[in-house]
Amino acid sequence: MHRIPLIILALLMCVACSNTSGTVSDADTAATYDDTAIVDEMAVTDEDMMITDTNDEALASDDLNDEATDDTTEPDDMTDEVTDPDDIFVPDEDADTASNEPCTVQFGVPNEKTGLTAEQCQPLCNCEGKFFQPPLYTEDDIAKLLAMVPVDPPAEVTEDPYDKPEEHQPVPGTVCGLFLDGAVPDGYRLETFESDVAAIAAGAYITHWDACGVCSTLVNLVVYMRQPDLTDPVRQCGIDNMFNKNGNIECLQDLGFDLPCAQIWYYNTQHTQSKCFTTCMSAVNDPYHNPDGTLNDCLICDEVNSGPVFKAVAGRNRRNTGLPSSMCRPCAEVQPVFHYYW
């Protein structure tokens, strides 16, 4: 009688990060370090028994095989997991001087589920000649992003891309460029470039590394900005809509994702469920990270099995977008991106 609920809870606990299958989806920087919800894989996954922020963070992907809101309203519980700004450790260093020391601290905003301390994970990279600290995006910034309109929005994901994984694999070195487009008021369009150099030469803003995908639109960027941890809300979508695909996708849209992005999150979750059921059952109460900083077995399973396809189809995750999440990532995987398109 009680076996199904326990199974659902187990898988759903593992799911949430993207961003991410961006893979274990997928990075959010935000006005939320200050008390405001964070304005942004595999982030793990969402849905029926799923693994979630891993793909957002949903996608660690390229490295292993190489994780809200259309609404302007943010659910009250979406900011509960944001780390208290007083608990975030930020080195007292000159921001203009990048350290050449080895990277020993991961990039993210740890919470009680992360399993790492603020000394092990922080929203800042300053090592191996790289300095990157995401800005604190304000609600005014978010309002401007939400007011922007995609001239050529991505098509819906009507078929499960995991049925033909060979057709959906990341292309190393590519970036997603954004152009302002006066075809519609506040319009913009997205275009994939073979490199950052090519994008800059064409006059594009780089909105994330890796090719553009169904989650590359700015409404999905805002979801990642506001939500450093999508695990609980995505998991609840699965619990509330078990065996109900349309209901599950609608629930994900209520978190702020647009329809195409919600659809790939759904398929990612289902695929992770089929591949990682036993692993995730045994890791249901585990923190996202082991003491040594590696991801737990459930998130690794999601990242390896679901991350590459999610990354290729979704496009955007936190890590390739320059946003921290509660699933911490090595600084080598984080791309410095700034989201001011005006």
Tens-binned pLDDT, residue by residue, of the chain (342 aa)? 443 443 444 444 444 444 444 443 343 333 333 333 333 333 333 333 344 445 544 443 344 333 433 333 343 433 333 334 344 344 444 456 799 999 999 999 999 999 999 999 999 999 999 999 999 999 999 999 999 999 999 999 999 999 999 999 999 999 999 999 999 999 999 999 999 999 999 999 999 999 999 999 999 999 999 998 987 788 788 778 888 999 999 999 999 999 999 999 999 988 998 999 899 888 888 999 999 999 999 999 999 999 999 999 999 999 999 999 999 999 999 999 999 999
Whether 342 is covered by a domain: the verdict is: no
- Look at the chain and report how many structural domains it folds into: 1
Whether 63 is covered by a domain: the verdict is: yes
Whether 340 is covered by a domain: the verdict is: no
Residues 183-215, buried b or exposed e (16+ Cβ, 10 A)? eeeeebbbebbeebeebeeeebbbbbbbbbbbb
Q: Are 267 and 161 in contact (CB under 8 A)?
A: yes
| Cα 5-17-135 angle, rounded to 5 deg | 140
Whether 184 is covered by a domain: the verdict is: yes
Whether 294 is covered by a domain: the verdict is: yes
Assessment of whether the complete model's pTM goes beyond 0.85: no
Q: Are 170 and 66 in contact (CB under 8 A)?
A: yes
Boundaries of domain holding 328: 3-333
Whether 143 is covered by a domain: the verdict is: yes
Whether 341 is covered by a domain: the verdict is: no
| Six token digits for residue 286 | 């585990």
